[in-house]
Structure 1
Amino acid sequence: MGVTAILLAAGQSSRMGKLKGLLPWKGVTLFEHQLMTLEKSSVEEIIVVFGYQAEQFMKLAKYFPVRMKFNKKNPFGKCSSILSGLQAMKNPKNNILIAALDQPLDTDTINSLSETLEGSDHLIAVPVFLGKRGHPVLFSGSLHNDLLTINEETMGLRSIFQKYKDTVMEVSVNNPTILLNLNTPDDYQMALKQQIKEDRSPC
């Protein structure tokens, strides 16, 4: 079973005060880092959902093997962007990786989720570091129709987690990056310090 990644890049970055995707991360913009990571992974198809200031990201995305989707309903919440990505999938039977622009990705984590879910009877795979769940989340393609029912009123993906809580598989990874959420300037500065510390750590 292949994997389709849906990268959510439609937010307004209101709490950050500037476009998160254009922030420097590992020598490139955060947006480019996300696409580079997905491209290096075992993901078969990459769909990027744009919204606010889409042109800023589209001019970067054209250098990557991605499908671009503009979400006109972006102001109404993240669920609309997820739905846009789901509807753009070439193969609805693919497993579905939901990734956010402000949550730095890691190729090994993505591949581990894919390999683990593929060889199990579980329907959802989530990475875990030191007992804490992180991102991104991988959903079985069999949940495609269920995912199409999400909305803001039922708390989006949380409703799917609740419905299928007995089929969630936790995949242990040795990577604290899965816990990062770059929502504010303080979050970003702390993440940069963590990254520098990790880069200096001996192998």
Structure 2
Amino acid sequence: MAADAVVALVLAAGRARRFGNDKRLAHLPQRGPLLAATLASLRPHFGEIRVVVGLEDDPVHLGIAKDVGTIVAETAEQGMGASLAAGIRALSIESQAFAVAVMLGDMPWLSEDTLALLCSRASDRSIVRPFYRGQGGHPVLFGRCFWGSLEQLTDDEGARSVVRRHGADCIEIAVQDPGVVQDVDRPWDLDGARRNGR
């Protein structure tokens, strides 16, 4: 499936309390704020990108480009599952995509080859997951027939329960890309990236 048939949904409504301040604005060398860098890495692969934000978030302040749509998750404080459900409900109405690539807003290190590979394996009836050295990562691509299940999520578990229920429909792809498992939970998660100029 072509990448333009897959919409990217970036979850960025969390306040990141473990980080100590708003990690979405944490600076990456030569790449700018963390969330903006993540979105820039997705832009070449997705004709449609949507970002889930919280009620009090200002997209301009977060560095979200004007041509990137935002979806407000009114119950974002309930956790990632609630944010994902809000995003999927909006996409079900507004997007014609066959699949959605669910992405976290603090993962700017994915390789272009990985994104292209995942999109090439997507379909409306499959769940595509990248694995790096046996560890599951992001983005996870959900075919449209699973969107109804994603809309029902309410807690902080995210989409794991949907993946478990539909194991027979999962395509697991081993990649040599640590970027699929590298996110930012605490300030020191950025230290290596800063040292390496990433």
Structure-2-length-normalised TM-score: 0.85
- 2:119 aligned with 1:114: yes
Q: Given residue 112 of structure 1, which amino acid in structure 2 is its aligned partner?
A: L
User: Is 16-25 or 85-94 further displaced after alignment?
Assistant: 85-94
Counterpart pick for 2:184 among 182, 185, 188? 182
- 2:128 aligned with 1:125: yes
Preserved contact between residue 3 and residue 95 of structure 1 (Cα < 8 Å): yes
Preserved contact between residue 34 and residue 101 of structure 1 (Cα < 8 Å): yes
Counterpart pick for 1:103 among 104, 107, 110? 107
Q: 1:92 to 1:157 in 2, by over 3 A?
A: farther
Matched residue, 1:156: 158
The RMSD of aligned alpha carbons is 2.3
Distance in 2 separating the partners of 1:116 and 1:94: 12
Equivalenced residue count is: 190
Match of 2:122, SS state, is helix
Match of 1:40, SS state, is coil
Distance in 1 separating the partners of 2:122 and 2:139: 13
Structure-1-length-normalised TM-score: 0.83
Match of 1:174, SS state, is coil
Q: Which runs of 5+ in 1 are unaligned?
A: none
Matched residue, 1:40: 44
Q: Given residue 109 of structure 1, which amino acid in structure 2 is its aligned partner?
A: T
Q: 1:53 to 1:24 in 2, by over 3 A?
A: farther
Q: Which runs of 5+ in 2 are unaligned?
A: none
Cα-to-partner distance string for 1:7-43 (whole Å, 9 max, x where unaligned): 11111111011211111225221111111112111x2
Cα-to-partner distance string for 1:103-152 (whole Å, 9 max, x where unaligned): 2352332221110224xx96111112223221111111111111112221
Distance in 2 separating the partners of 1:53 and 1:183: 21
Counterpart pick for 1:172 among 148, 171, 174? 174
- Superposed displacement of residue 52, structure 1: 6.6
Cα-to-partner distance string for 1:44-70 (whole Å, 9 max, x where unaligned): 311111117512x4342134x211122
- Superposed displacement of residue 191, structure 1: 4.5
Q: Given residue 42 of structure 2, which amino acid in structure 1 is its aligned partner?
A: L
Runs of 4 or more above 3 Å deviation: 190-193
Matched residue, 1:74: 76
Q: 1:51 to 1:92 in 2, by over 3 A?
A: same
